[in-house]
Amino acid sequence: MAHTICLINQKGGCGKSSTCFHLAGAFAHLGLRVLLVDMDPQGSLSQGFLGSVYVETLSSDHTIASLFDDVQFFSAHASLIVDTPVDGVSLCPANQHLAAYNGPSPEKTGLGQYAVHDFLNNHREFDIVLIDCPPNLYRCSWTAMVAADAVLIPVPPEDFGTQGLRAVHQCISQARQLKPTLSMLGHLITRSDRRLLVHRMYEQKLREMYGESVLETVIPEASAFKVALTCRRPVQLHSPRVRAAKLTLQLAREILERIGMEERNRQVA
């Protein structure tokens, strides 16, 4: 079965979609079959691979929203997963149709809490699944956690970036009541600029507070990520020699080691 990781934080602009986009390319480079699940009504991850015009005009039954529609649910499985221009990377797209289902109090939605979990259980042909969540802790993030094996929290090293982490941790604890095996993969420092004293100070603070839960790899604020995104290619495939690509590959290996897939990946390679 695939190992499923959801990326959550109720802070917008912390790098969830960007991390999913570029990390998918690194995993594919390592020979893994990757499925991306876009659970954000903004559809940024989907647009990154497929373009905004195509994604925004998708009907509801061709997006992840169909999993939450009682009428469309049973016919959704065959049409949700689409190929991307990147070999080894597939995608379940999202757009504005998902917004209608992303309400608060998700724990009161009954069996709908398992919509993504049940869908992924029927698609075991992938090695790793990355779920990109919206910048809130509503239904989309909740159902992603219920479907996931582990949670990764991208955190910019600054005051706004670290606000609200306690609420995220509390939500993870609540989700474990439905998914007891859900684990904390860790906190990923993103959009870091080591030239800034405040960024270095907040990184140190995060490591003091959360210890080994903070991943060793730090993802910088780098133009290479944005240039690659403009070309609809993860940085690992667009510019493999730049520092941003090397750090993304390092992150992919660190994640595989943390979830126990590094040895398996070596054997496959």
Residue 249's pLDDT is what? Answer: 97
According to the per-residue pLDDT averaged within each range, which of 36-50, 66-80, 102-116, 253-267 is highest?
36-50
Residue 269's pLDDT is what? Answer: 44
Residue 71's pLDDT is what? Answer: 60
Segment 48-69 shows an average pLDDT of 93
For 192, phi then psi, to 5°, come to -90, 140
Fold observed for domain 3-264: Rossmann fold (3.40.50)
Segment 71-97 shows an average pLDDT of 83
Instruction: Label residue 99 by pLDDT band (50, 70, 90).
Output: very high
Segment 88-109 shows an average pLDDT of 89
Residue 213's pLDDT is what? Answer: 95
The answer to whether 45 and 21 have CB atoms below 8 angstroms apart is yes
Residue 1's pLDDT is what? Answer: 72
Indicate whether 132 pLDDT > 90: yes
Residue 57's pLDDT is what? Answer: 95
Residue 46's pLDDT is what? Answer: 98
Question: What does the alpha-carbon distance between residue 73 and residue 56 come to, in Å, rounded to a whole number?
Answer: 21
Indicate whether 38 pLDDT > 90: yes
Instruction: Label residue 162 by pLDDT band (50, 70, 90).
Output: low
Instruction: Label residue 161 by pLDDT band (50, 70, 90).
Output: low
**Ramachandran assignment for 234, one of left (phi > 0), alpha (psi -120 to 50 degrees), beta (any other):** beta
Indicate whether 11 pLDDT > 90: no
pLDDT in tens, 167-217: 999 999 999 999 999 999 999 999 999 899 999 999 999 999 999 999 999
Residue 268's pLDDT is what? Answer: 44
More confident residue, 91 or 68: 91
Domain ranges of the chain: 3-264
Question: What does the alpha-carbon distance between residue 71 and residue 69 come to, in Å, rounded to a whole number?
Answer: 5
pLDDT in tens, 236-269: 999 999 999 999 999 999 999 999 986 455 444 4
